[in-house]
Structure 1
């Protein structure tokens, strides 16, 4: 993706407008893959590796102080290694391992032969010069297939025909058919859970031979309702969330990004933030005025004010944003084409000075500041314009996502005081 997402972008729910994405679908059934990582300075970046079930099993990037160079992505079951990052490309004599004349920085061991990479490069200023630098980084990021050292084909090649041919036009049936084709060749990482997973798939009509037949005598509407209740209940379980201050909550580290056998939380996150990063890379705290309602609501002349007691504490390359989404979880159309407020913009203190201004100007200290969320068709006074995040026109249900990239421990454990949220009349001139 060469440009940031806009309200016209509907490929995934809740896209961020903080990073440019580069995406690749991965097939390790017959080849390994060389991943060339360019030199990236002074900005957040991450190469997140996901298995076929959207588990973020490995990351290389600025948070982990990863080194530029070449990594070998391989199916872990072929080599007997645990999934994840395996740094070091040295031979027994101490010299660097080379592959196709490249020095190897390490290995990425994938738990499934199929998967995906969604690389994220942080946008700093969003100027033409900044975007040109990002495009150059994208152009220097390369993938190459590499013949396996062992003659073992663990799955059929992932082809366009496999993903598209002879599938139902009904979206739900199509999804089940596609799952049936993929599941037999991509077992769960926890092999001890294979029997339970296979049983559940069979109950759903997905069979080991790759076929799908809707289960007989099952009320699918009732089954769907039951699954939604289980998914909704999962987030309330103490092990799956962290209670923060002022009505905010966050997912626990075991319920975000990499889920193990916590399938209900994987489904929960997929619904509201597909392909989320794990908690070491980013936090996605949520606010709700009601324990039973995760979306927010505004009347035509109402607003939310978010009062930050101080700037969020982040690691060196970290940054934050607050993004609004409509009831369908897509970016909100608005006259400013503004989809988020963040530390790279022009948000101001009450006296009009910038919260994130010249680094050499320390006169402002770390004072409190406020952000305004109100409908896109209710324009606030000029002194609020820089801090206004437009919600859907006319009000109604919508969602907000607060993101912290490269978060510090004080953000993760809740010791930082999260913003106070107040709902009231819209602010007008």
Structure 2
């Protein structure tokens, strides 16, 4: 295989590791958004529901985040979770390669208080609590706690204090310095050595020896064809991301299998079933790279599904110059809750509006159902006479996103179809 083609494959294979570990380092050093920087093995807690001031792509307005970066190189870390009184929450465990390898929370383990021991690769000790084996020495816990609006914030703050970690950090992340054109290669070389691929990937990773990725020597230069191959790999990810995964249904892009690339590590709360594993290992590398690029740290579909819609029932781009309705004859089947959040296009930020409503769903106070049980959501820029079921839209193009937490089987198998957005 030519170096250029090999380098393209290496970029696709290694992008999730480089991007994920880079974000771990960012969270530890400086934090993100309203989440402050926090040392390894310490939770950083969000303190407000997102508003248009939080300019993050498709930011969540349903939950508060509690995120911890784990360093297990010195040994196990003990996790304690509080009793949330049936309130929905999820702690999602993600390894350095962006694989979701465990879940703790309402769906996976219930909402009672509990303790768990998170252990590093190769650990073989004894424990008095359930053990979660991490595939890599650094990992991430992405916590989401349901919040029913500003008045509910104090209750969530009280719960956040009950999520704790005990364990001393160790080696952390190897520091990487290299010229900008060599930085990806050097990060991949160093971080692949520190956080090795899954055993079943070892032969595939060994193919990259001609690129110098398996050497103990830092990059001081790289052949032009290798650098061109990295650009090819980057473009492959971008083009696959733009192409989408499957045909929309009533205009909605519903893909519960965007995070099925973990084929090796199934710990507490995961479903080790063929339906949730991609059948082609090599194809899974591209799916993993695209998911990391578009939605790093997204949940498996059995935990949450995130349908999006950009067009109305006639295939026209949604735009605030018009008024639209979304009529649910049957409400989305979920075990926790559902919502629709409004985002302006093309940046996918929340939309400022006169009533301060950024999402609407089954927990929205005052939402009105028809006598037959159906529910009609109104999406428009102009304020309607009755705002009970109004989801305010920007003046220009927009893209709503649904969030279905603990989706029912009918969502996962496609037998439940979201209704189209109809222009009035």
Displacement of 1:111: 1.2
Number of the residue aligned with 1:305: 325
Q: Summarize the alignment of residues 252-291 of structure 1 with structure 2, pairs less than 5 Å apart.
A: 252-253=256-257, 255-256=258-259, 258-260=261-263, 261=281, 262-289=284-311
> Could you tell me whether the CA contact under 8 Å between 2:330 and 2:374 is conserved in 1?
yes
Runs (5+) with no aligned partner, structure 1: 81-88, 90-96, 99-103, 148-155, 349-353, 356-362, 425-429
Q: What's the C-alpha RMSD, in Å, of the aligned pairs? A: 3.2
Q: TM-score, normalised by structure 2?
A: 0.73
Secondary structure, in 3 states, of the residue corresponding to 2:363?
Answer: coil
Report the CA distance shift for 1:335/1:211 in structure 2 as closer, same or farther (over 3 A): farther
| Deviations 1:256-287 (CA, angstroms, capped at 9, x unpaired) | 26544412222322333221111121111233
More moved, 209-218 vs 326-335: 209-218
Displacement of 1:79: 3.5
Displacement of 1:177: 4.2
| Deviations 1:287-307 (CA, angstroms, capped at 9, x unpaired) | 3549xx9xx844562344322
Number of the residue aligned with 1:406: 406
Q: Summarize the alignment of residues 192-271 of structure 1 with structure 2, pairs less than 5 Å apart.
A: 192-199=200-207, 203=211, 206-209=213-216, 211-212=218-219, 213-217=221-225, 218-219=227-228, 221-232=231-242, 235-236=244-245, 245-253=249-257, 255-256=258-259, 258-260=261-263, 261=281, 262-271=284-293
Displacement of 1:391: 3.4
Number of the residue aligned with 1:322: 341
Q: Summarize the alignment of residues 301-380 of structure 1 with structure 2, pairs less than 5 Å apart.
A: 301-315=321-335, 317-346=336-365, 348=367, 354-355=368-369, 364=371, 366-372=373-379, 374=380, 378-380=381-383
The size of the alignment, in residue pairs, is 354
> Could you tell me whether the CA contact under 8 Å between 1:31 and 1:145 is conserved in 2?
yes
Number of the residue aligned with 2:102: 58
2:209 and 2:404 map into 1 onto residues whose CA distance is 36
Runs (5+) with no aligned partner, structure 2: 1-45, 264-280
Displacement of 1:404: 0.2
Report the CA distance shift for 1:368/1:7 in structure 2 as closer, same or farther (over 3 A): closer
Secondary structure, in 3 states, of the residue corresponding to 1:140?
Answer: coil
Number of the residue aligned with 2:156: 134
2:52 and 2:217 map into 1 onto residues whose CA distance is 38
| Deviations 1:286-340 (CA, angstroms, capped at 9, x unpaired) | 33549xx9xx84456234432222221222x333333425422332344443321
Report the CA distance shift for 1:207/1:277 in structure 2 as closer, same or farther (over 3 A): same
Number of the residue aligned with 1:417: 417
Displacement of 1:36: 0.5
2:200 and 2:339 map into 1 onto residues whose CA distance is 39
Give the counterpart of 2:391 among 374, 377, 389.
389
1:388 and 1:200 map into 2 onto residues whose CA distance is 54
Q: Whose helix proportion is higher, 1 or 2? A: 2
2:123 aligned with 1:78? yes
